[in-house]
Chain A
């Protein structure tokens, strides 16, 4: 058993890499990614001359954007992949192959990681040229960034998988995640400091992973003195790990059961029914 599982997981790794390359070659989707990240870049350029308590504003925003990229990449990425693969039959195909689901899931985790890292790089690399102070981040800082990335993916990806398993179509998956995430982003101190918001809004913001991912990224990249601008005047490492860890644990506990249930119910007839509905809707 275990040998077969290892073999399937390894196939999943190569499949994930292949699908990433295919995504990179699909120009239509990439245009969307470049437009969004171009907008982020513009924000950084516009902010480059302002400072908050001595710290360049752009240097505050950049790590926050990275944190947001992790959250949206993990959650929306997983949701859209799963929902569209259920719709087009890719998942059903994986199900019909021995251990195909193992390979499939490993591949989608790899793919989500790689596309998220790619999205982060699109913010980070141009950022190196326009944001002052970024070049002085040491190896420890970059290592911490990777740590936050991994923890953030653990905290968000399982929830994306859960939503992707429950929604009826890729379109409704997008609708269900995009607006709430935008709302949470607005109160998570990504584009301006959370401390400027009313107390009760701050509390709501701190329930979700996006604020903590932004904070974690800021803690990794910014000079220690910048912590003064945060809630409680500290990077709150323990709380960051605690909240993100809690989302990860609960998500990882629930996701396997939801995925299994979804996979069991997935069949040619459910796929046909979905297609029928899509035809009736007219798109």
Chain B
């Protein structure tokens, strides 16, 4: 992320999170003017600028890169509304709260209407409320805009909630690639069905939970209670994948 996002030579400790395709980043930036970074940095820049003022100024750098199908920059007032800073548009950056500041970062990242937006641990350090608001925002952006969002996170719950496609990196290699659901199936094709009947609890592992449950009801009808179908969470998947890498079964994971 460091390498790609900041257009640097690889810094110490930096990891190339993406495979070879994104290498000539400078060229990409000039061509699209569309790469941007949001990392866990606490930005304190432009403290004297007002929200709308700064977005308008930064947006104008993208004007020469506008095309018919991709008008640039984004309409600033619309963007401010989208990230939920409508009430704060005239406020100085120095007076924004941490969460508002992060939403402004997103707006700055979006103002050039990028084809690709990088977010590096964007919700790190957020309280649950701010996190949820931020997740809603990312959802809105990914739904509304033809912008691909590449997000790194250690929060598997976040990944599961936000991502259409998840890549898991372990030991510097991509060990899994797919939707949360696909990944779960890769690790374990089976779902766990729990229920109770006549005060007794049962657990059954099955590849076709829907069919199993249908048959269960056909057989016992109203006697069934406490029904619960649980597929492996992304966290289960992740632990399984990492375990396989650590025990040297990487190839096996790759072949899945």
Contact = CB atoms under 8 A, between A and B. Distances in A.
Contacts of B46: 90, 93
Interface string A93-106: 10111111001000
A88 B58 contact: no
B64 A88 contact: no
B45 A93 contact: yes
A22 interface: yes
Contacts of A23: 48
B2 A7 contact: no
Given A90-B46, A93-B46, A268 B61 contact: no
B33 interface: yes
Interface in A15-40: 15, 18-19, 22-23, 25-26
Measured as residues with beta carbon below 8 angstroms from the partner, the interface class of chain B is 35 or more
B151 to A, nearest CB: 16
Interface string B41-73: 111111111000100011011111100000000
Contact of B47 (A14, A88, A275): A88
Interface residues on A, range: 20 to 34
Contact of B48 (A26, A100, A268): A26
A267 B2 CA distance: 8
Contacts of B39: 268
Contacts of B122: none
Decide if the interface of chain A is mainly helix, strand, loop or mixed.
helix
A271 B49 CA distance: 20
B13 to A, nearest CB: 8
B20 interface: no
Interface of B: 2, 5-9, 11, 13-14, 29-30, 33, 36-37, 39, 41-49, 53, 57-58, 60-65, 108, 112
Interface of A: 3-4, 7-8, 11, 14-15, 18-19, 22-23, 25-26, 85, 88-90, 92-93, 95-100, 103, 264, 267-269, 271-272, 275
